[in-house]
Amino acid sequence: MKKLISILVTAALAVTSVFALAGCDKAEGEESNSNEDNGTVASQDDGDDPVTPVDSDSDFKVGAIYINSQNDTSGYTYAHHKGITTAMKSIGLNPDTDLYIVDNIPEDDEKVKQAIDQLAGNGCNIIFGISFGYLNAFEEKALEYPDIIFSHATGYLSNDKNFNNYFGRIYQARYLAGIAAGYKSLAIGNNNIGYVSAWGTEYAETCSGINAFAMGCMAVNPNAKISVYEIFTWGDQELERQAAETLIQTYGCGVIAQHCDSSQPQIVANEKNVFGCGYNSDMTAEAPDAHLTAPIWNWDAYYATAMKAAMTDPDSFMQTVGNYYEGLSAGLVDVSELSKNCEPETAEAIQLAKDLMISGEWDVFSGVKLSFSGAAGSVKVDKVNDALVTNAGAEIVAAGGASVDDGVIQGSMDYYVAGVTQVN
26-35, 58-67, 196-205, 258-267: lowest mean pLDDT where? Answer: 26-35
Domain 170-294+338-422, CATH class in plain words = alpha beta
At position 155, the amino acid (one-letter code) is: G
pTM: 0.82
Q: What is the pLDDT of residue 58?
A: 61
Domain 2-168+298-330, CATH class in plain words = alpha beta
For the stretch 279-299, pLDDT in tens is: 999 999 999 999 999 999 999
For the stretch 19-54, pLDDT in tens is: 333 333 322 222 222 333 344 344 433 434 333 333
Q: How far apart are the first and last CA of the chain?
A: 47
Average pLDDT over residues 394-423: 97
150 SS3 class: strand
Dihedral angle sign, alpha carbons of residues 329, 330, 331, 333:
negative
Strands (E), 154-224: 163-168, 192-197
Domain limits of the chain?
2-168+298-330, 170-294+338-422
> Among the residues of 291-407, which ranges form H helices?
300-312, 317-320, 346-359, 406-407
Does 170-294+338-422 match 2-168+298-330 at the fold level? yes
